[in-house]
Amino acid sequence: MDRQYYGLNRYDGHDIVVYQYDSADSSSLANNLVWTIFEDHEKNLLIGTSGGLCQYKWEKNQFINYMNEFSSPLHFFNYNVF
């Protein structure tokens, strides 16, 4: 069975914005398979994907990907974040 994963969708009350992985854009979502979404006490939106941990930056409308970087101490662990 061929499974397709479509990334992260945001609804602002009027429109739906779809965020997806783009190998040419380091500020895109790390992977289209999203496992979990968490908002911390500082209103940071953290997204656990099959490609690692992402933080959505509201002011820039982009992501910071923490586990894709080879220099990250988490690089050698499993990228799945549940």
The pLDDT score that the predictor gives to residue 79 is: 59
The alpha-helical segments, DSSP class H, found in 1-82 are none
C-alpha pair distances (Å), 73 with each of 3, 52, 78? 31, 13, 12
Q: What is the mean pLDDT of the chain?
A: 85
**Could you tell me the pTM of the whole model?**
0.78
Whether residue 31 lies inside any domain: the answer is yes
Q: What is the mean pLDDT of residues 65-82?
A: 62
Domain hosting residue 46, numbered range: 8-65
Whether residue 80 lies inside any domain: the answer is no
Task: Name residues whose C-beta falls within 8 Å of residue 61's C-beta, 6 or more positions apart in sequence.
Answer: none
Whether residue 60 lies inside any domain: the answer is yes
66 sits in the region (left: phi over 0; alpha: psi -120 to 50; else beta) called: alpha
Q: What is the mean pLDDT of residues 9-33?
A: 94
Q: What is the mean pLDDT of residues 34-52?
A: 91
Q: What is the mean pLDDT of residues 20-43?
A: 93
